[in-house]
A and B are shown apart, each in its own frame.
Chain A
Amino acid sequence: MGLESLTAKITDLEIEEVLAEVKQLIASKTAPLEILAACRAGMEGVGKRFEKGEYYVADLMLAGSIFQEVMQILNPVLNSGDSTQVKSSGKVIIATVRDDIHDIGKNLVKSMLAANGFEVIDLGVNVEPEVICREIMQHQPDILALSCLLTSTLDGIEDTIAEVTKQGLRDKVKIIVGGAPVTEKLAADFGADAYGADAYAAVPQCQALLEGKLHA
């Protein structure tokens, strides 16, 4: 019992124990931001196991679901006014591009980014380039994350990046792309700044983009 144990239990995907511990920690007046930090550390552990090949997408799905349940318990306390504002690692707009309705990959990336402290604005699926540009202007994100599943919708990624450039927004936002038919070479050809090779890669890639370690 305690923050370290909570971190370990999240990494081990022990859902029942995690939820019980979060509730106990809140009851024992542990600072909500510390609980959140412990949970994020646990999710970082999940990511490391995924990168090492010990965890697979099914494990990430469960981890994302555990984190979501934790946040449902934690959010009322975090928003109660007693807590300091949760600091975001960065703001990301995420979308599946025009003519593609697949959202499993996008949703998983979204949940991994959220668990790692990013503020994520999800525009959903089948999103037109013009709509994405409008949302960039409104929300001014640090990063635009684009996804597609079909080879036939690769054009949607290319066209969206072209539209972002045409509207004069390209130097205001970093762009990461991913999805089954996307390759590192295609990402570079499309003019993206980064490529998310798998469900978790977007996290270190987005962190690197914010730290200015990746360039187009």
Chain B
Amino acid sequence: MHDTALLLKERTSRIRAAIRLQEHDKVPVVGNLGFWPVKYQNKYTMQEAFYDIDIMGESYEYALQRWNQWDALTTSVTSRAPLLDAMGSTRYIIPGREISPDSDYQHPDQSFMEAGEYDELIKDPVRFQANVILPRVCKRIAKDDLYETIKAIAKVIVFSRELQEKSRRYWSGWAERYAVSPLMCSVFLVPVDAIIDHYRGFNQGLIDIKLRPEKLIEASEALMDNLLNSAVAGIPQGLDYPVLYNPQHVSPFISPKDYEKVYWPFYKRMVDVFTERGHTVWTVFEGAQDQHLEKLQELPPGKCVAHFEKTDLENAKRYLGGRICIAGGMPTSILAKGSPQDVEEQVAKVMKLFADEPGFIMCADGGLNAAKPENIDAWFKAMDKYGQLGGKLELLPPVEIKQDESMAGIKQKLITPWDAVRDDFGDIKGDEQIIKQYWEQLEVEALGLVNIIMQA
């Protein structure tokens, strides 16, 4: 009988080996549970779970008691509705608020920026986000009512600390009891996705790619530092997986020509910066992205995961097999609407394709969402039957993250340096170094929270 600590080491090693394309024993299975445990437990509404992390925690515990075979879990969607309410954010549709309490939370397509405002964004993306976009998105952030703004930000600070603390406690408990770790330590977006998600909206943004690509390229360039920094700000050392999650929404909908012009150069640069530091980049290639597979061959081998939703996996294997770890293989529609036999047939089909060499992680193509319990059972049973690779599993240590100078340089650009405010202090009577030290320390430490607020 395994003890949990050893089991956790084996699982983390299995995933590391798959990512690094090294020999291992069987194909790892990753659970993208999302809000599914709440539906499976069937005790609380989605609204209750989205407002209360303890409810989410209870549901995860309940689901993990039945299925503890996951090699890792992608980080759960946090219960952050109170934070969004505190800010008055209009970015999302929240269950129980704008839609029935048992629905999923959703991200509607909205445009918060005019085409004519690109130059303002390019000139100073951080201040454009704070001064122009944030008050448009968040009703409680009002330039003419600072009291409301201060309260909103204070509430975010209180809530975020509690959420972070509880989240940490839950994950450490699940690691001890069920030998699972969260796979992702942070998220980043490629600039075009950020521009479309946060500012222009999908419809207008895609048209911008056709009509004003040069503005998108300039804006992408301007946003790079902030996007790089916000992805890695505050990531602690010693995590089981220093994996950065990168969902890509826009790329399935553009031609290879447009992709190479406005998308790929920035994606590649970000991947290079992050993998150079020691991170693994886990990109979710949403939709079908067969048209870009050839280009993806240029990603650094053994340092990335390409998670496909509807891209043809045979195609993906042909282009990327032996270079990049591929993830996916289980359509959520089969888990939700298929039979256990459909699940087994799907596993058998996918394993026939991937069981010949290391470099595949089995997971659902999206969040489990509406999966039937009997289909999860069938999935694990089929993985035991078809997912054996026959190799030896070696225990592998985690990668140490380098605290490199380039990232420190980026941070410096985002803070207000002491020199810029020194004159405001006038004639300092005591030790200037003490004041300077705390000024600079807080400037850097606050960046993580600043990002949370800016992206509400």
Residues of A that sit less than 8 Å from B by CB: 13, 15, 53-59, 61-62, 65, 99-104, 107, 126, 150-155, 180-183, 186, 189
Contacts and interface: CB of A to CB of B under 8 A. Distances in A.
B366 interface: yes
B104 A55 contact: no
A62 B253 contact: no
Contacts of B93: 101
A104 B108 CA distance: 9
B207 A65 contact: yes
Nearest to A54: B255
B362 interface: no
B163 interface: no
Given A61-B253, A107-B203, 9 more contacts: A55-B255, A57-B253, A57-B254, A62-B211, A101-B93, A102-B109, A180-B287, A181-B332, A186-B333
A189 B207 contact: no
B106 A151 contact: no
B203 A99 contact: no
B253 A150 contact: no
Given A99-B99, A151-B370, A186 B109 contact: no
B202 A56 contact: no
A57 B206 contact: yes
Interface in B90-149: 93, 98-100, 102-104, 106, 108-109
B274 to A, nearest CB: 27
A152 B370 contact: yes
Contact of A189 (B98, B103, B287, B337): B337
Nearest to A103: B109
Contacts of A59: 210, 255
Interface in B221-279: 252-255, 258
Contact of A152 (B202, B252, B336): B336
B305 interface: no
A183 B333 contact: yes
Contacts of A15: 211
B336 A56 contact: no
Interface of B: 39, 93, 98-100, 102-104, 106, 108-109, 202-203, 206-207, 209-211, 252-255, 258, 287, 291, 310, 331-333, 335-337, 366-367, 369-370
A101 B210 CA distance: 26
Contacts, number: 91
Contacts of A181: 332-333, 336
A191 to B, nearest CB: 13
B99 A150 contact: no
Nearest to B342: A185
Nearest to B255: A56
A154 B370 contact: yes
Nearest to B256: A56
A102 B106 contact: yes
B108 A101 contact: yes
B210 A151 contact: no
Nearest to B106: A101
Contacts of A13: 210
Nearest to B39: A152
B177 to A, nearest CB: 28
A189 B71 CA distance: 34
B202 A100 contact: no
A154 B310 CA distance: 17
Nearest to B252: A57
A190 to B, nearest CB: 9
Nearest to B336: A151
Contact of A58 (B209, B332, B335): B209
A13 B102 CA distance: 43
A151 B202 contact: no
B104 A150 contact: yes
Nearest to B108: A101
Contact of A100 (B106, B255, B367): B106
Contacts of A183: 331, 333
Nearest to A62: B210
B205 to A, nearest CB: 9
12 contacts: A56-B254, A61-B203, A99-B102, A99-B104, A101-B93, A101-B98, A101-B99, A104-B202, A151-B370, A153-B104, A180-B310, A189-B337
Contacts of A154: 333, 336-337, 370
Given A58-B253, A101-B93, A126 B287 contact: no
Nearest to B287: A180
A61 B255 CA distance: 13
Closest 3 CB pairs of A and B: A57-B253, A58-B206, A99-B103
Nearest to B254: A58
A52 to B, nearest CB: 12
B363 to A, nearest CB: 14
Nearest to A63: B210
B4 to A, nearest CB: 32
A102 to B, nearest CB: 7
Given A56-B253, A58-B209, A65-B207, A186 B337 contact: yes
A137 to B, nearest CB: 25
